[in-house]
Each structure stands twice: as C-alpha cells, then as structure tokens.
Chain A
Amino acid sequence: MQNQKCKGMQDLLPEDMLRFRRIEDVFRVCCRNWGYQEVRTPTLEYLYLFTATGTLSPSMLSKVYSFLDWDGWSGERVVLRPDGTIPVARLYTNNLGGKELARLFYVTNIFAFEGTGRENRERWQCGAEFFGGARLAPDVEIIILAQEVIRRLGFSNIALQLSHAGLVKALLKELKLSPGMEAKMTNRILEGNWQALTKARSDNSEIERLIAALLSLRGKSSSFLHNLRASFPKASQDFKSSLKDLINITTLLDNLGCSYKIDIAAIQGFEYYTGVCFQFLAANKKIGGGGRYDRLVPLMNGKDIPACGFALYMDPIMELLPLKQDKRSEYGILVQGKELTPKIVKKCFTLAELLRDAGYPAELDFLGRKESDYRWVILVSGKESSPFTLTDCVRCQPRYIGATIAEILKAVSEV
C-alpha cells in the first residue's frame, strides 16, 4: 500500500502511546509536586521570535518550517514551533511578566527539517522552566527535578554532564578572533565541532593549554574546577567568574550526593544559554538537557528576569523505555452478546455500564470473538431467568451459568 504519511512525520501507535503517556504522567506528577504549573504555547509563532542573536543558532534557523500564513500579505513569516523554551519565555513575558517568580512546565512537539527524511522532523519533549528567583538554587533545582523524573521512569545508568556557556564564551573571547571568525567558530561549536577550538591559533599559549585541558579532562567533582582555577591564574576575569559560578553549583550538587561529569562540550545547539548547561545520557543517547538563559526574557522586551530550564526528549526515551503491557489479562472484562438482538444488546449495554460505574473496564462484543487476554468473559443470552454466564479466564474455573449481577460484581471485585 502506498505510504501516505508526510516525510519525517511519525504515527504513534497504541504501544507508543502507552510509553508516551507513562513519560508524560511521571513528568507531570513530578513537576506538580515541585510546584510547577502546566502551560501550552501555540504551534505557530512569528519567525522573528527566533531570529535574534542569542536565540536559535543559524544552523537551526536554516531548518525551521517557515512560511507565510493567510495573513502573510504583510510579509511577516511564521514558523512551526522549532524549540520549546523560546515560546515559553514569550508566554511568560507576555502574560506573567509581572510575577517575580514562575515555575512552568509543558509537554510539546517541536519541528525541525531533517534532510534524509528518515529521522523525525516532529519531536516531542517535556520541559520545565524556572523564571526569576536567586541564582544557584534554581540551577540545582532543575537538575535534580530532571533527575527525579528520569529515575521515576525506571532508568538507572544515567550520565549527567555539566558545562557552562559563560566559560565557552570567555574562551572564544580570549582567542581574539575577528567578529566574523568568532561568529563562525561559535556556529561550529554549536554544531558540536569542538575540535575547531583546538585548531584556532592563539598568541597566548596558556589559552591553548586551557582549551586542551577542558576538552580532554572530565572532572567529577568541584575539586576539578578548583584545580583548574589554580592552574590557570592568568585566565580572563569573565572566565574566572563563570568558573566560580560553576564551582558554586557543583559544590551544591556534591553536597546533595549528585554525581556528574564536567564536559565542556555538553552544550546543545542553542545560543541562548548564558550559564550552567547540562545534558543527560542513557545508553549513549542524549535524553535531555538544559541550562541557564538569563538574556532571553530581556531580549523579548521583558524585564531583566533570569531564567533556567530543561527538556527531556520523548523520542529517545520512548525507544529505551520498556513496555509495560496493558493489564487487560489482570482485570479486563469482555461482555459478549450471544446474538445481535435488541433485547440482548440492551442487556449487554446495561451490564457493561453497571460494571464501568463500579470502576471496572468493560468492553462489548457481538462478534463471538475467542479472545483470550481478558480476565473475565460474561456471555449474555436472551434467557429471561439466567441471562449471564461468567467465565474466569485466568483461574480456569468452570463457567458460572446463571450468575446474577450482584454475583458478577462480587466475583470481579476479588481480583
């Protein structure tokens, strides 16, 4: 049969949705318990929301689904939401800007073109954003919250990698590249080509050593950062202050018993990060990431409100998540009409409604299917006196011909 699905789009089948809802449910419960409130942003946003420096990187911008909508005579282009954080920052600035502090979360799809059409062009993510508040505590809060969600989903071997956008920016500045070269280098780094940094020639050999150290060493505690500070005393003030910020955060994480690796390359392809950045890996796949982005709200003409957040990527998580089978065989009830007569149909519907009202799922069937994965099958006949025959499919007890409704309810409640 001809495949009529759009290239790069995905269908979520019942098994996928079981996984999807499990992730969503765990995520929602955790966020609510931490005091976050759910929001939802529109699928269409204006392109200009994403074009300013410090929002999406050029390589991401070249993959947005942008077009003119029905009002496009004014030339204003719109996009299918290419990122989760920027629209939520807009939502906060437009509607909640007066609030000093806002904890928000969302479950959303984002759209990005992908050349081969084999990978998804529509991706789902669960994200949480923390607007306002003091420094450090929110950074730690979102990391621990993300970890809690992942843990509750049943993942154990999770790697947490930490980086800091301020460190990277300070390093780039110290290379003293021309503005054009610096922009190019930033783009390369955002695309994941960190080795480009080592190829940049610098007059300052200390910077070269610092870059080499940051790219090759993986610290596992704040001590590593203290060592770094002691080894490179001549580093710039910007570098030192970002390092101090990261030391403060890692110290808090150390005290909370949170293990991590410091990996300067652990920054996703977003320009908007200004402070600590992190990502989570499971089975070598990135399953989430986030960081601090203090410039985004002011960039949207909002107040000078600092912010940070994270997103978990549903697609890789769904692939890794074991499927918990539907528990139909434990408590599922099939109400089966012997024939399709008005009398039997009425009896079936009435019985099923009684069962559902009592809190049991009850499925109807008039085709005489031989289904095996229900716990109970109740055959409904046209007999006036004893219309119901109850079968316990698990215990393989003899059929109970002539069961009353009260007896049926009693039997199914024993599960």
Chain B
Amino acid sequence: MKDYQADYIKLALPKGRFLSPTANLLARIELGFEDYGDNTRQYRLCSARFPGLAAKILQEKDIPIQVAVGNYDLGICGLDWIEEFLVKYPAGALVKISSLNYGEGGIHVVASAQSGIASLDELSDGRSHYRIVTEYPNLAEAFALNLRMRRFRIFPVWGAAEAYPPEDADLAVLWGKSGADMATQGLIPLKKLLPVTAFLVANRESLENKDLSQILMCFSSKLTTGTQTSPEIKLNTLEEIKFSRLSWQPKEINLALPDGHQQNPTAQFLKRTGLNFQGYSEEKLNRRPSADLDWLGVKVIRPQDMPLQVANGNFDLAITGEDWLKEHLCRFPSSPVKKLFPLGFGAVKIVAAVSQEMPVVNIDELRLLVQGSTDLIRTTLKVASEYINIADKYLRDNHIDPYKLIPTWGASEAFLPEDADMLVDNVQTGKTLKQHKLKIIDVLFRSSACLIANKDSLASSDKKERMEFLTQKLQAGPK
C-alpha cells in the first residue's frame, strides 16, 4: 500500500465524455492500455508496453486535483476542469503540458432568452443582484469579479445548470456545444469563457524530478501542433437562430423532481399518488414536465442540488434523498429546509469502508490505528467521499485525527487503497465494495427518498392550502 507502484509512472485517465477519443489517442500512440475503452469495467490498468506505467480511470472532475496533490504524475482531462482548479489555486502543482486536439464546445456564460439580458454590459451596472448557477463555481466567481458585478450569488450545482434560467437563476456558466445548441434550450450565450479541449497535465514535482520522457515523447510524436477548432456558429449569426419558446409561466407552487437513478422509482411512486406529470416518465429527459394542476410548476434537477435550491426558495417542495438533505444541513445548519416524510423507496446505507487488508473492524480500532500511526496509514488518514460534510462531521465526532478529505464525484471506491485509506459513501447491497476488496467498518445512517420543503413556504398563508393538498397526496403514495 505505502509502496504501491511507488516507482511507477502513474497516469489518470478520464471516464465519460473523453473516454472514447482518449482511448483512440492512446491506441494511436501505443501506450499499451488495450483494456481502456467504453466497455471497461475496471479502474486500474497496467501498460502492456511500458512495464513501469500504470493508469487509473477516474471521474474527469477529480483528475486536476489528483494530479496536483501528486497521486498521479500525468493526467488527461478537459481544459474546463483544469481552469476551474487553477483559477482558485494558482499556486497548485498542476502544469498544462499540451492540448490533445480533441474536444467539443466551450464554457459559456448564458442567460435565458426570456430574461431580457442581452449583453454583458448590462451586468456590471450595479443595479441588480444576479444569481449564477454553475458546475464551475470558481470560474463563475472569477468571471463575476472581473466583470465588476456589484452583487452576485453563485449556486454550485452537480448538473442540469441549463434548466435553471430564467426563473431559478439569472445566469448560468455551463458547457455548451455551440451557440445554436444553446439556443434550442432557450439560452443566449453572452460570453465564451474557454474552449473545452482535452489536455495532458502533469504534477509539477514529477515533471521536475521524475523521468517521464518516454511517455511524454509518445504523446508529442503523434500530436500535430495547434488546436483543432471545432466549427462553431459565431455569435453574430445568433439572430438567425430560432430560440425555442419555453412555455414558462410563474407558478404558485414549485416542485423539484430528481433525475438519474432516482427518476424511475420516483416516477413509479408518483403514479401511485394519482398526481400526473407529463413527460417525467418518458425515456428522453424532459427537464420541465407539466402537471395537471395549473398552479404547480415542476422541474427535473439533480437530487444533490435540491436542499440548497429549496432553501433559497426556488422550489417549495422537492423529492430527494435523506442523505443529501443531511449533507446540506451539516454544511448549513441554519438553512430553512425541512424534511416532511420519507417516501419509502430508494433505500441506501451510508457507510464507512476501508481496504480488506486494513487490520481494523470498526471505527474505534481505526482511531487507535491512526493514533498509533503505523506504516499502514501514512500519519494522515485520507478519506474519499461524495458527502464531504457528512464525512467531516463523522470524522470529527469520532476523534479521528489527523485526517484529510478528498471530495469525489462518485465512485469513491476507485480511490482505495492507493489514493485514500477510507471512504464514506452510499451502498445498496455492498456488492461493489466487495468486488473492490473493501469492507464496511461502520454504518453512519440509513437513507431513503423523502419529501423536503422550504420552511417559509410552509408558513406562508398564500401557499399553505396548496402545499397541504400536495403533501397529503404524496403522503398517500407509500401505502
């Protein structure tokens, strides 16, 4: 563990959008990672050509930080995530080596076609407060500060930023394929912040001290100089683009429904309640399903983002997981969001797990191990988690000291044992953990889908009657 591949050159490879083109590139430059492809089920790869080269497949968002902290010598990910890291941590040990000449679209600042914001100049006049929704909070803050926006608030989201304007945000900073593509979603691009191309990045210390030359040569030999620019519609032709007309009207009550894994069970649950949401159970994702009740607005967003959105009054009610509500309340104890009742589906356990090789069976033994500071754990316990605030509280409450948190965007099990010593994550059956030779040492709590509400909405005399009507309907669902 401690010496795991210490002399290896370690490469972080992306999942998701850049997996296919990166696999093609690696095949062309013959790095010897035949197993890296769309169908790969494993996280760890060894090069068939270079015995000293190992790779791990990670979420793209995690790669800049993993390379910067030195867990990987080299990494491949999009420029957006690199700049998101560097704009906040300019002194971070992350070096851009070269563009890999593939990628698509760019990071744009957009407003809704219905918002009445048509140019950037209108934003710095200081008259309004702007709400900015984004997966890139650091880039968004830098943008707002540079533009001298007098007052702004940034709402980081896990996804679906395009669904927020105009009613739930004034601006979004998001990835978009092209101006035309964004126009079909009813969005006006105000500024392109950067193009999204894949980049090869390196850890500064590795670059200064470790011989990476063979691998770097493979990359540079096949890379043509200059970045390919994808054909993109220029902004001045936007007038010709037809903006999709969203039939959005302000509604008295707003409800958020989850996308992703929770969508199917939620749709089935809603059927049992007798509430009808057209477009929610369809295969093609519709972010704005319509309800039979004309006073009810419905939007489909990430369950992770719901507590914050409900707290801010963008939604009165939402269906999310108890885990995400708890994560939110650990961070913001004064938040005006309340759990109404569990809905009886989507049950998971939030657990702490470590490698099967670690000689501990519970958190007390782990604490003794950390205090004893044996060779097994390098003084500081590294904990990977999607739930950083829950994990932080759990570690504090259990007097684990010292520890470091590694925020992840899912698949925390991929981090153990090389890049983290412990994870705090949700499990349904525990099968995945076993496959990765991990064992559960504690169950933090059990979580299932629940209905959450904004406290002010509950107390509002205007909303009370309709909120009660809805909650009664939903309460009947589990039976």
Distance (whole angstroms) from the CB of B420 to the closest CB of chain A: 22
- Are B332's CB and A73's CB within 8 A? yes
Given contacts A66-B141, A73-B328, A73-B334, A51 and B149 within 8 Å (CB-CB): yes
| 8 Å CB contact of A52 from B131, B146, B150, B331 | B150
Q: Is B311's beta carbon under 8 Å from chain A?
A: yes
B145 touches A51 (CB 8 A): yes
> Is the Cβ of A115 less than 8 Å from the Cβ of B151?
no
Contact B146 A74 (CB under 8 A): no
**Residue in chain B with minimal CB distance to A66:** B141
User: Taking the complex as formed, is B51 at the interface, i.e. its CB lies under 8 A from any CB of chain A?
Assistant: no
Whether B148 is near chain A, meaning CB under 8 Å from some CB there, is: yes
A14 in the interface (beta carbon within 8 A): no
Nearest Cβ distance between residue B154 and chain A, in whole angstroms? 6
The listed residue (A51, A72, A115) touching B332 by CB distance below 8 A is A72
Residue-by-residue, is A17-38 near B (CB-CB < 8 Å gives 1, otherwise 0)?
Answer: 0000000000000000000000
Chain A residues within 8 Å of B250, by CB: none
Q: Is B124 an interface residue (CB 8 A)?
A: yes
Interface residues of B in 296-320 (CB under 8 A from A): 308, 311-312
Q: How far is the CA of A71 from the CA of B331 in the complex (A)?
A: 9
With known contacts A58-B148, A62-B142, A76–B328 Cβ distance under 8 A: no
B131 lies within 8 A of A75 (CB):
yes
Q: How far is the CB of A4 from chain B (nearest CB, A)?
A: 10
- Nearest chain B CB to A82 CB, angstrom units: 12
Contacts of B149 in A (CB 8 A): 51
B333 beta carbon closer than 8 Å to chain A? yes
Instruction: Tell me if A53 and B148 are in contact (CB < 8 A).
Output: yes
Residues of B near A115 (CB, < 8 A) are 90-91
Known: A73-B334, A75-B131, A75-B153. A51 touches B328 (CB 8 A): no
Fill in one digit per residue for A44-72: 1 if any B CB lies within 8 Å of its CB, else 0. Answer: 00001001110000100110001010111
B151 touches A48 (CB 8 A): yes
Which residues of B (138-167) have their CB < 8 Å from a CB of A?
141-142, 144-146, 148-155
Q: Which of A48, A51, A117 has the most C-beta atoms of chain B within 10 angstroms of its own C-beta?
A: A51
Interface check A77, CB cutoff 8 A? yes
Q: A61-B145, A115-B90 are in contact. Are A74 and B150 (CB under 8 A)?
A: no
State whether A70 touches B334 (Cβ < 8 A): yes
- The answer to the question of B59 belonging to the interface, with a C-beta cut-off of 8 Å to chain A, is no
Residue of B nearest to A56 (CB): B145
B356 in contact (CB, < 8 A)? no
With A52-B126, A52-B150, A115-B90 already in contact, the answer to whether A75 and B155 are too (CB < 8 A) is: yes
B335 on the A face (CB < 8 A): yes
Tell whether A116 is near chain B: CB-to-CB under 8 Å.
yes
- Inter-chain CA distance A117–B311, complex, in Å, is 37
When distances are taken between beta carbons in the complex, the residues of chain B under 8 Å from A52 are 126, 148, 150-151
Q: Report the separation of the CA atoms of residues A70 and B330 in the bound assembly, to the nearest whole angstrom.
A: 9
Please indicate the chain A residues that have their CB under 8 angstroms from the CB of B146 in the complex. 58
Chain B residues whose CB sits within 8 angstroms of the CB of A116 once the complex forms = 91
Which B residues lie within 8 Å of A70 (CB)?
331-334
Of the candidates B154, B308, B328, the one whose C-beta lies within 8 Å of that of A77 is: B154
Determine the chain A residues whose CB is within 8 A of the CB of B155 once the complex forms.
75
Can you name the residue of chain A whose Cβ is closest to the Cβ of B335? A73
| Residues of B close to A73: CB separation below 8 A | 308, 311-312, 328, 331-332, 334-337
Query: Which residues of chain A are within 8 angstroms of B336 by Cβ–Cβ distance?
Result: 73
| Residues in chain A near residue B151, CB distance under 8 A | 48, 51-52
Nearest 7 pairs between A and B by C-beta? A75-B153, A73-B332, A73-B335, A73-B311, A52-B150, A48-B151, A61-B145
Interface residues of B (CB under 8 A from A): 90-91, 124, 126, 131, 141-142, 144-146, 148-155, 308, 311-312, 328, 331-337
Binding site for B on A (CB under 8 A): 48, 51-53, 58, 61-62, 66, 68, 70-77, 115-117
18 extra interface residue pairs, beta carbon distance < 8 Å, beyond A73-B331, A117-B91 = A52-B151, A58-B148, A68-B332, A70-B333, A70-B334, A71-B332, A73-B311, A73-B312, A73-B337, A74-B311, A74-B312, A75-B153, A75-B154, A75-B155, A75-B312, A77-B153, A77-B154, A115-B90
Task: Give me 21 A-to-B residue pairs in the complex whose CB atoms sit less than 8 angstroms apart, sorted by A's number.
Answer: A51-B151, A51-B152, A52-B150, A53-B150, A58-B145, A68-B332, A70-B331, A70-B333, A72-B332, A73-B308, A73-B328, A73-B331, A73-B332, A73-B334, A74-B153, A75-B153, A75-B154, A76-B153, A77-B153, A115-B91, A117-B91
